[in-house]
Amino acid sequence: MSASFGLQWMAWTGPTIGFFVFVAASIALMGLWEKLQPGGAPRRGILGIDTTRGDRLFITYLGSGFIHLAWLGFLGSFLWGALIVSVIYAVIVFRWV
């Protein structure tokens, strides 16, 4: 019996672990940001809806997922380009949405 903690259903490769560590770290950093500088008041951006920091992070996660899926579908599995596009997308979302 190995010490896999019941996680053998998931393909835990280096990139997979990195992805989950990044998501957990970004959520933790958003919580720390809110604790240190409270009051991320909603603002109305180019989408015409009120968004908070957490909303913008969630929109970034969704959009980045779609960017990566489209990249896989149209351009193949070399995802560094999708990562660069996703980072640019994240900057745009946090600046103008």
pLDDT (tens digit, 9 = 90+) per residue, 47-83? 899 999 999 999 999 999 999 999 999 999 888 999 9
**Could you tell me the pTM of the whole model?**
0.82
Residue 24 covered by a domain:
no
Residue 80 covered by a domain:
yes
User: Which helix (H) or strand (E) element contains residue 44?
Assistant: strand 43-44
pLDDT digits (tens, 9 = 90+) for 20-54: 999 999 999 999 998 998 877 889 989 899 999 99
Residue 8 covered by a domain:
no
Distance CA 38, CA 86 (A): 27
Cβ atoms < 10 Å from Cβ of 51: 19
SS3 state of residue 51:
strand
Q: Please identify which residue in the block is written with the tokens 């968004």.
A: 51
Distances (CA, A) of 61 to 2, 9, 38: 34, 24, 22
Residue 57 covered by a domain:
yes
Residue 35 covered by a domain:
no
Tally the domains of the chain. Answer: 1
Residue 58 covered by a domain:
yes
Phi, psi of 43 (to 5 degrees): -135, 155
Residue 32 covered by a domain:
no
- Boundaries of domain holding 54: 50-97
Residue 1, pLDDT above cutoff 60: no
Residue 4, pLDDT above cutoff 70: no
